[in-house]
Amino acid sequence: MAKSGSLSIRVVEGRALPAKDVSGSSDPYCLVKVDDEVVARTATVWRSLSPFWGEEYTVHLPLDFHHLAFYVLDEDTVGHDDTIGKISLSKEAITADPRGIDSWINLSRVDPDAEVQGEVYLAVQLLEDARGRCLRCHVRQARDLAPRDISGTSDPFARVFWGSHSLETSTIKKTRFPHWDEVLELRETRGTASPLRVELWDWDMVGKNDFLGMVEFTPQTLQQKPPNGWFRLLPFPRAEDSGGSLGALRLKVRLTEDRVLPSQCYQPLMDLLLESLQGPAEEDTTSPLAVLEELASGDCRQDLATKLVKLFLGRGLAGSFLDYLTRREVARTNDPNTLFRSNSLASKSMEQFMKLVGMRYLHEVLRPVISRVFEEKKYMELDPCKMDLNRSRRISFKGTPTEEQVRETSLGLLTGYLGSIVDAIVSSVGRCPLALRLAFRKLQRRVEERFPGAEHQDVKYLAISGFLFLRFFAPAILTPKLFDLRDQHADPQTSRSLLLLAKAVQSIGNLGQQLGQGKELWLAPLHPFLLQSISRVRDFLDQLVDVDGAEEPGGPACALVQPSTIVREGFLLKRKEEPAGLATRFAFKKRYFRLSGRDLSYSKTPEWQVVTQDGTGVPHTTYLQCKNVNDLNQWLSALRKASAANQDKLTACHPGAFRSGRWTCCLQAERLAAGCSRTHSAVTLGDWSDPLDPDAEAQAVYRQLLLGRDQLRLKLLEDSSLDTAVEVGPGKDSDVLAQQRAATTHLLQVLDDLEQAHKEFQRRGQGQMAL
């Protein structure tokens, strides 16, 4: 039985941050760390003390993680970035509320003594003889210690405390991976049992030594289970600064931990889910999908929609699943103007489906135009209340332009960008994924069947454009960073330009039905262009659904990356290991890398022949440099996912280089010495390109159904009581009731069996641990 854990993190916004720049503002960004490992970096929000990020991350974790930390820093062009503050959340604090954390949290000061990292290896023995008690502490080594010196290393030594006695190891210079292999013996007369504390320090010739971390063991632990192994270093216990003088962050954090059973355990549930697609969706009230739709609410609806879409996508039935939800949504909608406008399970499922299968398509269509908007930084504004004539002075060389001149210039720029966007969209029919086109074709047919009248002629277009334009293209234009179209958030001026473009794309997606209405009458100069574009969009939607094809290919979903799948690609700086001397900046060469489930290859340009090895067949070390922290984390995450099936990957490595006859990280003299640092293979970032994992997705569906099990039982009792009180004769109604009771009973039995399987596997696991 596999164990899995994931953190859903949303860094929403900050407020009242202190000014770190001479301009009286700051350029804040956030670093997200899991157990001192950086897993994500938000974009920088320029010139703001109340930044909005709105960035979401899903981090797949080992179940033994301890804490999550958020560091807020001010980006500086010259010199080191300034630290503003941090928030540290323990695993216990995150799991205290099943719904997770969703609140404003004050930033605390960053205390150097509290910024510890790494682990220490200890083997402890507690002995007794005629002279009293003897504690023998074997301090073997430590790894991944915090760098305290300007050289990026430390000079660590260990100090052992037991009762009233203390001893120190020798100091090992210039390393973060020291090997002491020293045994320290401390004696104490019989009396009160004392705890053991081991502290690690960085030795400094001038000034006081720097704290690196500590571990502490109670007398009960020493007596019953003497420490032997790796132990995580902890800071000195101290009170947190909660005054709020450093500002605050609004965070949403939820931890999900689960145990995934073998595939055969979920087969009865999968059979029920597949049977749901075959029945009449409009009248369904007892199938698992109908129960899930009734139970899902709030934030969990989006997570559930993602799991269900992936589950059916892996079996080649995503189209049938979306059609099932569409039939239910259309059947209960009387006003076509409200169709798919709410955040129902049907709407969320189609939205997640578009992201899963259509993200590359979105990038191909929008990235060229979005990049132009970012690079050209043109001032555009149509709203007289927001128009800044001084900012737009550069568009005229005859002094400050008038409001009319700014409006005319802005209109020309907007129509130019919009023209490129519309051209790219309407010419993209051939690039749109087949699965997405088939889903839209089914959607249009269901809408036409429900609203066949001539007065509802536009409804079949609005149903598709409501998803494609309002829930896909427009949000990506508004916040391109959240759709991986850009690495950074836009500055305020570019954000305003993107907002105007997104509003225009929304109006086109609404087929102009709301033009001239509402409070934004200042958009009127754009109306002629928008009306002209609407007819082109109708033709595009007709071509989009004019496709022949059956359901997408079926087959069991795979939990690993397929060998032929390109997981990630892009430019990196590369150099091979050099035995002697330091590498100059000219030693790094820019190469285009492609990572697939089979190998990591590179070439000079994307069009050149790919190189996968040097021809000698001898393994060698290659150093790769990314352009920023986010790029590094995404490459590391992609490498971990692609190598999940590799049974030969190393559990330890040398983060340094072998130079002058020794490793620079741990100072070992043997080139083939075992690695001194763990390879981090468990922490990965979830994204739209994650491989399918049918067992984990089925487990998530089971957990959601389990929340409604009591309601199902109550409903079954009510139906049985009703039959007893009122005698129902033979006929259609009695047959329907009998079928519903049988379906509910079957579903409850499947849930009970899964619950029993969990208990059985948990009992076996505890028995193995005891052995």
Tens of pLDDT, residues 440-472: 999 999 999 999 888 888 899 999 999 999 999
Tens of pLDDT, residues 25-79: 999 999 998 887 888 888 888 889 999 998 888 888 766 678 899 999 999 888 7
Q: How far is CA 80 from the centre of its chain?
A: 27
Highest mean pLDDT among 80-94, 241-255, 554-568: 80-94
| Cα gap 758→756, rounded to integer Å | 5
| Cα gap 511→523, rounded to integer Å | 15
Cβ pair 196, 135 in contact under 8 A: yes
pLDDT tier at 731 (50, 70, 90 boundaries)?
low
How much is the pTM?
Answer: 0.75
Amino acid at position 159, single letter: R
| Cα gap 77→477, rounded to integer Å | 28
Q: DSSP letter at 23?
A: T
Tens of pLDDT, residues 550-569: 554 443 333 334 555 677 88
> How high is the pLDDT of residue 401?
78
Assigned token pair, 322:
């979306």
Percent above pLDDT 70 for the chain: 85
Find all residues with CB under 8 Å of 1, minimum gap 6, and list them. Answer: 259, 260, 261, 262, 761, 762, 765
Q: DSSP letter at 472?
A: I
Task: Output the average pLDDT for the chain.
Answer: 83
Tens of pLDDT, residues 8-36: 899 999 999 999 988 889 999 999 988 87
Assigned token pair, 168:
């120190």
- Summarize the confidence of residues 103-131 as an average pLDDT: 85
Tens of pLDDT, residues 277-309: 887 877 777 788 888 888 777 667 888 898 899
Assigned token pair, 219:
């007398």
Percent above pLDDT 90 for the chain: 35
> How high is the pLDDT of residue 553?
42
Q: How buried is residue 460: exposed, middle or buried, by Cβ count under 10 Å (0-12/13-18/19+)? A: buried
> How high is the pLDDT of residue 172?
93
Helical residues (DSSP H) of 252-382, grouped into ranges: 263-276, 288-295, 299-314, 318-331, 345-376
Cβ pair 622, 578 in contact under 8 A: no
Tens of pLDDT, residues 734-755: 676 777 788 888 888 999 999 9
> How high is the pLDDT of residue 733?
61
| Cα gap 253→59, rounded to integer Å | 11
Residue 549 has pLDDT above 70, yes or no: no
- Summarize the confidence of residues 480-504 as an average pLDDT: 89
| Cα gap 287→270, rounded to integer Å | 12
3-class DSSP state of 475? helix
Helix axes 318-331, 434-450, angle to 10 degrees: 20
| Cα gap 305→287, rounded to integer Å | 16
Cβ pair 155, 204 in contact under 8 A: yes
3-class DSSP state of 314? helix
Q: How buried is residue 647: exposed, middle or buried, by Cβ count under 10 Å (0-12/13-18/19+)? A: exposed
pLDDT tier at 679 (50, 70, 90 boundaries)?
confident
The residue among 77, 66, 39 whose CA lies nearest residue 55 is 39
| Cα gap 242→341, rounded to integer Å | 42
> How high is the pLDDT of residue 724?
53
- Summarize the confidence of residues 391-406 as an average pLDDT: 66
> How high is the pLDDT of residue 391?
65
Tens of pLDDT, residues 601-623: 888 887 665 555 555 555 667 78
How many Cβ atoms sit within 10 Å of the Cβ of residue 321? Answer: 23
> How high is the pLDDT of residue 556?
36
Between the CA of residue 408 and those of 378, 502, 529, what are the distances in Å?
13, 19, 14
Dihedral of alpha carbons 554, 558, 564, 569, sign:
positive
In DSSP notation, 139-185 reads: EEEEESPPP-STTS---EEEEEEETTEEEE-----S-SS-EEEEEEE
| Cα gap 209→284, rounded to integer Å | 70
Residue 415 has pLDDT above 90, yes or no: yes
- Summarize the confidence of residues 182-205 as an average pLDDT: 86
Instruction: Find the range with the poorest average confidence among 166-175, 294-303, 492-501, 661-670.
Output: 294-303
Rounded to the nearest 5°, which phi and psi values hold at 166? -150, 150
3-class DSSP state of 482? helix
- Length of the chain measured in residues: 771
